Structure formats: C-alpha cells, structure tokens
Chains A and B, each alone.
Chain A
C-alpha cells in the first residue's frame, strides 16, 4: 500500500517559492494501478519522484506498506522500487541481460540467480532469451526496448513500481499492444503502481484509480468510471472532454449492461403470437436460436406489429453479436456497423446470453451520472 500524507514540494527561494506540489493526500491499495493525470506542469511527475526521493519533499510523508520512507536511505529505497521512464533509459554500454540485472547486481544477488531471472522475464514478454540476452539496446526496436525497460524495473521483484509515461515514446499501434500486454502481466504480478500519464485514454485503460492534478493540487481521486461519471468540478469536466460519456463505454462490461430477459421463438411460430409474448414480457425483440442456442435471426416488436404470417418470413438475420466479456464500446461499435438497434450478447460458446439495446446503454451511462 502506498500512502501520501500532506506531500508538498516548493522550488525556488523560501520567501517566494513556486509550489509544485501542494499538500497531496492519497491512498493506493496494494496491487492497484494509480494513474497520476493532468496537463504538463501540474505536479504529477514531481509527486511521483518524491516517492523514490529523486525529489526530496519539502514537507509531508510517503508511506509504503505502513513504513515512512523518509526513514529509509534514499538509495536503498530506490533499489526497492521499480522505475520506468519515458525515455526508457536502457544503458547503451550494457547488454540486455546486464541491463535487466542492474538492480539485482546492485543488491548483490547471486549472479546465477539474477541471470536466470533475466531469462524468465524475457520469456514473460515473448522475447526469446537466447536471441536477446546478449544483444545491446541499439539492436532492438523501440517496442522491444520499452518492454526491456519494464522488465528491468521488475527484475528485483519490487512490490511497488513507478512508471513515468512509460509508453509515451512508442507509436500508437505498438502502444496499444504493450498496454494490453502489461495489463495482462499485472494480473499475475499484482504490483502496486504509480503511473504518470497525460493521456486520458491511457489512464482510463490502465488505471484502477485516477488522480487528477492541477497546479500542484490533487483535484480528484477516483476510479475511472466514477471520474467520468461524476467529475468533481468544471476544470475536470473540461479536461475529460465533451465525449467523456463515450470514454465510459469502455469501462462498462457487456455482462453488467445487457438485459437477460430476452424471449426466444421458433421459425414456425406466428408473428402475432411472438408479438403477444414480447408485449407481455416487455421485450423489444424475440430471437430464433439453433439447436446449440446460437442466435440465428431476430424479430423486433416494431416489425412484428406491422406484419403477419410466420416468424421465418419476417425475422432478420443476426449479423453480429458481442461477447459478454466485451465492453460497451465494442457493443456500440457493432450496433453501428451492422445497423442493429438490438444486439445479441453471447457467451464463450456463442450461445445467446442477453440483449443490448440503445436504451440499455443510455440507461447504464445515465445511471452513473445521476446516482
């Protein structure tokens, strides 16, 4: 757990200081990622660097797992905290193996153990150890270097990591890939991470909690969904942008937003009876499933009301379905792409598990707003 207590940093003369960080309080539970977010010069990087004392706080304290870090020697403290910077900072004179082993070597680990560790870590991100261990940084692509930069921070298995815009120098496509990769890794390593970013999308994607800074002050500290749903003031509202509701789509799982009270009909049923069942259950559509439960076609209440005959003659084929493990952004995108106001939600086997409608999406987004 990381706790910042009244953390403050002044630069410049004592009588007329520039207040870079102003009395910041923040609690981050073990195993979570906290993204410090804000425009440049807002104090987010200074705050982070006070945690490993690259910048000495003017006042206030930093606790890691209940221990006041001010009582620990700065150099020892840094060795116990993983550190990743935007410029990557791999030492060009050292091989990949030596780079990964920097902190273990500083800590005096047994050589065989640290080299073993380097090998394991490379495997973890899919870089073949026998191919990469002896290479030098300049012989790697930007994305590979950034992966090694993260591995280097993980080498001594520190419980806490500081990441200063770690994916900022990578092109957008690779950034997405590395972010996903890192989140997947975080599921198993469960580090407590302070992550500095100026990119809202990245923050929403990576964070368990987001801390928004302005002028050295912590303006709001909340989960991404909370933040997007209930910005604390107009500055944050502006910062989040007018499309912040859309950004929330990614945060809401299909599973939570879909309606599960769908009804199913047979191809041979009459349209009238199908309509009757929809009305009585309040559903907007009825699905025709195959033997395995995979949706084949759907009949909407609107169509049913204007037609007569067999369901088979009027039902529209299902052109797309969203997996329940997906998020609302995925669902909306499929609805637009296939012009399907009603979208079936399916489980891993492709079986119908629920229905998504525009209304249920609006309801879910609105729910956060008013609650």
Chain B
C-alpha cells in the first residue's frame, strides 16, 4: 500500500526517469542498427570475416555490463565522459552489435539461393537485389535481433544508474543505498514493465514491417 502511494505521489519523477531510460536505449540501439545491419550484410561476402566479427561480438557481449562500464572509464575520461550518459550509450551500442549483426547475417545468408539466382538472372543489380529481395525477406529476423537488443539493454541501462546515467535504475540504486523498499520495488517494477512493453511493442512493429507474403514463416 505504501508502495502504491509512493508510485502515485512520484508519477512525474518516474515518468521523467523512464524517458531518460528510453532515450539512452533508443539512441544507442538506433546507432547500433545503423552500424550492425550494414556490417551484418557486408560480412555475408566472406565466411572467415563473418566468423571473426561474430566471435568478437559474442565475446563483447559476455563481458558483464558493470565491468564494461568500469573498463570504459579510463578510455572515455580523456574526453571528459568517463561516467554518465555517454558510456551508457557506448555500452548499449556495443552490446547491441551481436544480436543485430548475427540476425542480419543469418537472415541474409538464409535467403533461398534460388531467389538470388532468379533475381540475378532477371537482371537485378546487387543493390536492387538487396533492396527488393534480400532485405525485405530478412526484415523479420533483423527486427527480432533489434528486439532482443532493446530488451537486453533496458536491463543494462538500469545498471548504468551506478555510473550516473540516470534512468529508472536510479530508483533501484537509491532504494538499495537508502534501504528504501518503496523506491526499490518501484524501480524494479518500472524497469520490468518497460522491458515487457518494449518487447511487445517491437513484436508489433516487426509484424507491421513484414510482408504479408512471408508472415508466419518466421517465428523467432
């Protein structure tokens, strides 16, 4: 009851923190899409490059986020952003690479060779083939990667409160340091609901972006 009262009294702050949280994830995943999708497409040209890139990206993602934040402090301090918003965004960009690169790569390499052959035989250029055939077919899987990245990084961003990036994690960090279960539960619930809502919302976007002709083929 106490917690419900706290939430109602602090709706405006919760809203502001949520927007901070979303802005970090949104900006960073946006940047990640702009880098990872082209990388994912580019590495389809060479298996060994693809293996190398995917290996590095998967290693990157195993590094615990708080360790990554720590390791970035000496790297980003020289430009005056050792802690705060910038390292949070950088971390999210880095973590988003694997799911998006991997899904893009897998989706493009899984395009039926017959379709590629047909497209080529009818006189499509490489770019036309990508734009008209390969990317539209890969969209559901690429979007699944984006979705994974967003959900995962909502959690990462919560931890970024400890390096002063703000966001909903602030309630959790203050709740722990002040032994205040109201803030603790509020933060935990808000960040969980945000992750669930983002997941459902992106599932919807994924459906809208998928051609009706291939809907239901991809379940991921």
Contacts and interface: CB of A to CB of B under 8 A. Distances in A.
Interface size bucket, A side? 20 to 34
B132 to A, nearest CB: 7
A91 interface: yes
A93 B211 contact: yes
A90 B133 CA distance: 10
Contacts of A92: 115, 137, 211, 213-214, 217
Of B114, B118, B212, the most chain A CB neighbours within 10 A belong to B118
Interface of B: 112, 114-115, 117-125, 128, 132-133, 136-137, 211-214, 217
B213 A89 contact: no
A168 B119 CA distance: 20
A54 B123 contact: no
Contacts of B122: 78-79, 83, 102-103, 106, 152-153
Contacts of B136: 93
A78 B121 contact: yes
B112 A93 contact: no
B218 to A, nearest CB: 11
A223 interface: no
B213 A88 contact: no
Nearest to A78: B123
Contacts of A78: 120-123
A75 B119 contact: no
Contact of A93 (B117, B120, B121, B137): B137
B10 to A, nearest CB: 47
B109 to A, nearest CB: 17
Contacts of A80: 123
B212 A136 contact: yes
A90 B122 CA distance: 12
24 contacts: A75-B125, A76-B123, A78-B121, A78-B123, A79-B123, A80-B123, A86-B114, A89-B112, A89-B115, A89-B117, A91-B119, A91-B133, A92-B137, A93-B137, A93-B211, A93-B213, A94-B132, A95-B213, A102-B122, A106-B123, A106-B128, A137-B213, A138-B217, A162-B121
A87 B114 contact: yes
A52 interface: yes
Given A87-B112, A92-B213, A136-B214, 12 more contacts: A78-B121, A78-B123, A85-B117, A91-B115, A91-B119, A91-B132, A92-B214, A94-B132, A94-B211, A102-B132, A138-B214, A162-B121
Interface in A50-88: 52, 54, 75-80, 83, 85-88
Given A91-B133, A95-B213, A83 B128 contact: no
Of B119, B123, B136, B137, the most chain A CB neighbours within 10 A belong to B123
B114 A54 contact: no
Interface string A31-61: 0000000000000000000001010000000
B132 A54 contact: no
B28 to A, nearest CB: 29
A20 B72 CA distance: 56
B133 A103 contact: no
Contacts of B125: 75
A308 B111 CA distance: 80
B110 to A, nearest CB: 13
Given A91-B115, A92-B137, A93-B137, A85 B213 contact: no
A49 to B, nearest CB: 8
